[in-house]
Amino acid sequence: MTRRLTDEEIERQLGDLPDWTRDDDTIRASFEAPDFLTGIALVQEVASAAETMDHHPDIDIRWRTVAFALSTHSEGGLTQLDVELAHQISQEAARRGAAATG
């Protein structure tokens, strides 16, 4: 099992994730893709990574904007899994030309 991160650990790691913000026990980011199909491709890539990690984000799709929310529900807060998946999401968004909206 993965342990919950401390507040200090979360803040330090969010320093490497400028597109992400903390909302209590969740980290969130939204990205605007160049077009709808690119947004859907981003979701598909994230879904594949999430399935491999067995760690699934909440995803909201609004035309070209895709919002992600990460939390480890089984641990009741944020864990290293959330940070690792956030990095993967940000990298994939950048690769697809999707810009952070926050």
Tokens of 16: 């490497």
- Residue 102, pLDDT > 80, answer no
Q: What is the mean pLDDT of residues 21-35?
A: 97
Distance set, CA 62 to CA 1, 68, 75, 92 (Å): 34, 12, 29, 18
**Could you give the CA distance from residue 22 to residue 43 in angstroms, rounded to a whole number?**
21
As beta bridge partners, residue 58 has 69
Q: What would the pLDDT profile of 37-69 be if each residue is shown by its tens digit?
A: 999 999 999 999 999 999 999 999 999 999 999
- At residue 1 the predicted structure's pLDDT band, cuts being 50, 70 and 90, is low
Q: How deeply is 54 buried, as exposed, middle or buried, from its count of CB atoms within 10 A (0-12, 13-18, 19+)?
A: exposed
